[in-house]
Amino acid sequence: MKKLLKTLKWVGIVLASVIVLFVVAVLIFKNPTFDAPYPDIKASKDSSIIARGKAIVYGPAHCATCHGGLENVEKVDRGEEVALAGGFEFKLPLGIIRSANLTSDPETGIGNRTDGELARVLRYAVGHDGHAIFDFMPFQNMSDEDLTAVISYLRTLAPVKKHVETIDMNFMGEAVRAFMIKPVGPIATPPKAVVPDSSIEYGKYLVWSVANCRGCHTDRDMMTGAFIGPDFAGGPEFEGEKDPNFKVRPPNITPDKKTSKIANWTEQFFIERFRKGRLVPESPMPWGPFSRMSDLELKAIYRYMRTVAPVERIPGVEAE
């Protein structure tokens, strides 16, 4: 008995030492900084370029849904312009992440950020302070022209003084930030320009580099954001922003005939469904912005999604 107690005592000492060392390591390595290049992107005052940026922000990239704040989601769904002053909360096991203020306010928004700093955030997920940001925005491979258009439009936004604490982590979240969150850059040299058309290639560009379809329709580790499931075969569970009792999992959107939500949809039905916009109030899908995509964009997305690998899987169930 004495030997057992002695063993347990030493086990306790070792565990306590490990915990202390872990806490110290988190405090030492908290908020690591990273180097990343500043893309050669310069905002334009050309009205056509600004209009393109606005169409992306309020359309396929659905920036306004998150950066407009929860209180303005219904207005964004209706197509209204709102102040992109941030504050939308993503409640995760590791803490809360809030969307940033994108208005031109120099103190609380992006008024004092250079074009290069804004481009670096979107392309390399590294903020102006050198800290890696959580990979919520899939714009690393967006074309130079579209990135220029987005930043050009953001430069036109009126200033709104609203301080947003974008990161509010618990201890485990701080540990994840210290050791696991790294910059996410482009998988190849981003294209200078992409010609909008109804092709599979343009659909792939929209799905992967603009609309973030994979971000919700693929299972993720909610502690780190890492993708842990087959692409487009159904995502993690979401709860309603206003009704926490509402639970939903983004469906399988691969071409699998048995378990996919859209495998049996015709192209015309696909377009018509998107045109209807939000039918379920608490759905996390940004139906409003997506409902305003052009027929050309919706056709391209539909045609690309028919080419992805089919996966027989119901969200929440392991793939066979």
Q: Note the pLDDT of residue 142.
A: 98
Q: How confident is the model at residue 54 (pLDDT cuts 50, 70, 90)?
A: very high
Domain finish residue from 122, 154, 189: 189
Query: Which range, of 24-33, 137-146, 256-265, 297-306, averages the lowest pLDDT?
Result: 24-33
The structural domain count of the chain equals 2
Quote the CA–CA distance of 84 and 153 in Å, as a whole number.
12
Asked whether the predicted pLDDT for residue 194 surpasses 90, the reply is yes
Show which of 168, 189, 210 is a domain's final residue: 189
Q: What is the pLDDT of residue 158?
A: 97
> What domain range includes position 296?
195-320
Q: Note the pLDDT tens digit of each residue in 250-276.
A: 999 999 999 999 999 999 999 999 999
Q: Is residue 24 situated within a structural domain?
A: no
Spatial distance between the Cα atoms of 145 and 153, rounded to a whole number of angstroms: 12
Query: Both 68 and 179 in a single domain?
Result: yes
Can you tell me the mean pLDDT for 301-315?
Answer: 95
pTM beyond cutoff 0.85: yes
Is the per-residue pLDDT at 16 higher than 80?
no
Tens digits of per-residue pLDDT, 108-136? Answer: 999 999 999 999 999 999 999 999 988 78
Please identify, among 189, 212, 231, the residue that sits at the C-terminal boundary of a domain.
Answer: 189
- Same domain? 219 vs 111: no
Chain mean pLDDT for the chain: 88
Q: Are residues 43 and 59 in the same domain?
A: yes
* Higher per-residue confidence, 8 vs 129: 129
What pLDDT score does 223 carry?
A: 75
Mean pLDDT over 98-110 rounds to 97
Distance from C-alpha of 218 to C-alpha of 233, rounded to nearest angstrom: 6
- What proportion of the chain, given as a percentage, has pLDDT over 70? 89
Band of residue 282 on the pLDDT scale cut at 50, 70, 90: confident
- Examine the pLDDT at 30 and tell me if it is beyond 70: no
Within-domain flag for 179:
yes
The 3-state DSSP class for residue 302 equals: helix
Question: Same structural domain for residues 153 and 255?
Answer: no
Return the sign of the alpha-carbon dihedral for residues 298, 299, 301, 302. positive
Q: What is the dihedral of CA 273, 278, 282, 284, to 10 degrees?
A: 70
